[in-house]
Amino acid sequence: METNIPKRTDVIEAIRNRVCATMGFTLTSHEAVAVSLAATAPRDREAVFGMLLNNMQAKVAARSPDSVAPTDAEWEFIFGKAAMTVRDGGLGNFTKETTFSDYHKQLEAALRCSLMEAQSKVAWAKPLTKAACYLALHSEDTESRVAACLGGIVRADSRRLDDVRSTVEDGEVDHMLLAKVVLSIAKSIVP
């Protein structure tokens, strides 16, 4: 019996092909995945594109960012319950940095009921999940993206998560931190 479950390489290659076709440039898989992940942060993506790409590429990426962003299915595959890294990619050190740990603590407090669930607790222990949840705070659909990372969210955490997202949205976003997140994730998931 054959299943139609995609392989990591298929998902990464689909993202790379879509990003390269949309932009009209040839990028490595690491670069394409980083650009795709940066596109999930609508208020900040132009600044992050500027850190990841040369000026011409950044302008082209900014013209159609929604078409290069990961689909919900790709997000689920990359960060969901089957998520795994192929290497550290700097995530281990990154999640211990002071700047990131402030967001980590806010997320952990907001998700306190969800993190009591066994599946969510196991997922949260992974640096990849913490980085993905931070990235999800910058997306339009934070709750569903975080739920995909943790395997679900307890309803009681929704309001607190929305408060954390609002704090991020209203505050001064650290674009360098966001660029580090997308680069670290890309390095850790691309074979």
Annotated domain spans of the chain: 93-173
* Integer angstrom CA distances of residue 176 from 27, 141, 172: 21, 22, 12
* Centroid of chain to Cα 78: 9
* Integer angstrom CA distances of residue 164 from 108, 133, 142: 10, 11, 10
Q: Are 41 and 138 in contact (CB under 8 A)?
A: yes
User: For every one of its 191 residues, what pLDDT tens digit does the chain have, with 9 covering 90 and above?
Assistant: 445 667 888 999 999 999 999 999 999 999 999 999 999 999 999 999 999 999 999 999 999 999 999 999 999 999 998 788 888 888 888 788 888 888 999 999 999 999 999 999 999 999 999 999 999 999 999 999 999 999 999 999 999 999 999 998 898 889 999 999 999 999 999 98
**pTM tops 0.75:** yes
